């Protein structure tokens, strides 16, 4: 039985005192309360008041998230919801940071020991320019953002992310926070039958949550995680070693990596794209195309673009842009990602969106005896209201295939 109600322990997580654990549990439960009790109240406010008032004033129903937002922000109930959400977010980082700060010297030492115990590569160059879209603000209100370093060999923002994301996800990402990677691996195994990647790259890996399932599911493959934030890859390398997996990590920019042409068979990312920028995204797609061997696949997992959601869901999810320091969250969902992938050189006939069912839901269905190939729709033992995670119980994947003879080769 998969226990998603407690984070699985590993050597790089800080030990919490009783009070710290209680604070963190409170932050997680508070988020659960907002998600489970306050969020459902927004629908009736919209249907009974905002939608009607809009229609009366404009002679038409609200058409998109902007129309909905204009009315909802004036509603006391929405203001209360949005404020509570922001407070919960700040609280969960604060509650986690107390343990991180207290244990930092021991955690840095532990990371050094673990990293020295593995033959997997850790590549952090002496000088590196982290893009401004990562450093300009504390994304999703995480103090210090991803890349801040305050001491030699700093891992603090990595620890903070690992624990904080578990609380944020309230178990939806599984005990190792690895649901996205696991779901994409399942997708590859089921849908790309016979595809055996020899080298796999995970872009924007942070602490390697989604990277490690690729090593687990493709044990013979050479697996790499890259990120622009040094403390994240440092922590990721130590965490992977602590969990007994040989995975390589490097500080690199997905827009322009240091790998040779055609080095990988599979390039993936998980919720990376919405934290980049309108200029970076096309560059990342081009870099994926360059890095792939002919016949390889690029898969980017995230939430769906807005045109695949109803306007009310768009409005709810776009609160990330407005209240959670995620400036590119909404704009990214309006870009024509398949067009960008085609422009980057991928086979136009083989670029598409698809859904990778959430692995945690499949585990739950399995435990309830309801597992089948169609397990995403099977009855889960635990009730998952996907909320702002993966509407419809799945991760949206943009999948693109590099033709066996690439566009560049054909042109040459
Ligand atoms: C939301 S996190 C990704 C989470 C991670 N993929 C997972 O599944 O747990 C976004 C990460 O992308 C990194 N990032 C942003 N822009 C990047 C770029 N151009 N190249 C590499 N990493 C980048 C950030 O530093 C951050 O660690």
pLDDT in tens, 400-409: 999 987 445 5
pTM across the whole model: 0.93
383 Cα to the center of ligand 1, angstroms: 29
Is the pLDDT score of 384 beyond 70? no
- Average pLDDT of the segment spanning 322-331: 95
294 close to ligand 1 (CB < 6 Angstrom): no
Instruction: Give the Å distance between the CA of 75 and the centre of ligand 1.
Output: 35
The band of 167, judged by pLDDT with boundaries at 50, 70 and 90, is very high
Cα(205) to centroid(ligand 1), Å: 5
Read off the pLDDT of residues 328-346 as tens digits, 9 standing for 90 and up.
Answer: 999 999 999 999 999 999 9
Does 389 have pLDDT greater than 60?
Answer: no
Q: State whether the beta carbon of 231 lies less than 6 angstroms from ligand 1.
A: no
Atom of ligand 1 nearest to the CA of 280: 19
Task: Choose the residue to mutate in 125, 133, 134 for probing ligand 1, maximizing ligand atoms within 8 Å of C-beta.
Answer: 134
CB environment 154-176: b (16+ within 10 A), e (fewer): bbbbbbbbbbbbbbbbbbbbbbb
Q: How many CB atoms lie within 10 A of CB 354?
A: 13
Instruction: Give whole-number Cα distances, 232 to 85, 237, 344, 361, in Å.
Output: 26, 9, 28, 28
Q: Which domains does the chain have, with CATH numbers?
A: 18-119+131-162 (no CATH), 175-411 (3.40.50.150)
**How many angstroms does the Cα of residue 1 sit away from the middle of ligand 1?**
31
Tell me the helix, strand and coil percentages in the chain, rounded to 5. Answer: 50, 15, 40
The rounded Å distance from CA 142 to ligand 1 centre is 13
Residue 312, Cβ density class (10 Å: 0-12 exposed, 13-18 middle, ≥19 buried):
middle
- 115-161 per-position pLDDT tens digit: 999 999 999 999 999 999 999 999 999 999 999 999 999 999 999 99
Q: Give mean pLDDT, residues 228-234.
A: 98
CB of 174 within 6 A of ligand 1: the answer is no
> Residues 46-76: pLDDT tens digits?
999 999 999 999 999 999 999 999 999 999 9
Cα–Cα distance list, 282 to 161, 225, 339 (Å): 27, 20, 10
């Amino acid at each position: 039985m998969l226990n998603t109600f407690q984070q699985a322990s590993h050597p790089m997580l800080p030990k919490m005192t009783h009070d710290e654990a209680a604070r963190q549990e409170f932050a997680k439960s508070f988020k659960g309360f907002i998600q489970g009790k306050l969020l459902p109240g927004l629908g009736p406010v919209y249907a009974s008041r905002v939608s009607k008032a809009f229609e009366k004033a404009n002679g038409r129903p609200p058409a998109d998230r902007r129309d909905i937002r204009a009315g909802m922000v004036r509603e006391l109930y929405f203001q209360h919801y949005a404020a509570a959400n922001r407070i919960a977010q700040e609280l969960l980082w604060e509650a986690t940071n107390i343990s991180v700060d207290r244990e930092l010297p021991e955690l840095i030492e532990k990371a050094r020991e673990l990293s020295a115990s593995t033959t997997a590569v850790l590549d952090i160059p002496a000088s590196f320019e982290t893009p401004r879209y990562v450093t300009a603000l504390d994304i999703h209100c995480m103090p210090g953002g991803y890349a801040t370093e305050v001491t030699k060999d700093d891992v603090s923002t990595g620890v903070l992310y690992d624990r904080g994301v578990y609380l944020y996800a309230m178990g939806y990402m599984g005990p190792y926070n690895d649901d996205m990677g696991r779901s994409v691996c399942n997708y590859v195994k089921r849908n790309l039958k016979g595809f055996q990647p020899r080298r796999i790259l995970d872009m924007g890996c942070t602490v390697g949550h989604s990277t490690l399932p690729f090593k687990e599911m493709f044990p013979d493959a050479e697996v790499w995680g890259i990120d622009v934030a040094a403390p994240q890859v440092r922590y990721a390398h130590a965490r992977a070693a602590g969990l007994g997996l040989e995975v390589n990590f490097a500080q690199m920019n997905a827009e322009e990596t240091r790998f040779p042409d055609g080095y990988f068979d599979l390039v993936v990312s998980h919720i990376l794209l919405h934290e980049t920028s309108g200029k970076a995204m096309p560059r990342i797609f081009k870099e994926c195309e360059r890095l792939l061997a002919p016949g390889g696949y690029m898969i980017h997992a995230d939430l769906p673009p807005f045109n695949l959601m109803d306007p009310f869901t768009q409005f709810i999810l776009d609160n990330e842009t407005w209240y959670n320091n995620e400036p590119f969250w909404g704009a990214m969902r309006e870009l024509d990602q398949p067009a960008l992938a085609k422009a980057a050189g991928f086979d136009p006939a083989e670029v598409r969106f698809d859904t990778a069912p959430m692995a945690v839901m499949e585990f739950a269905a399995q435990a309830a005896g309801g597992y089948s190939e169609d397990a995403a729709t099977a009855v889960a033992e635990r009730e998952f209201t996907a909320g702002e995670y993966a509407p419809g119980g799945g991760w949206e994947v943009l999948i693109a295939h590099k033709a066996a003879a690439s566009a560049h080769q054909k042109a040459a």
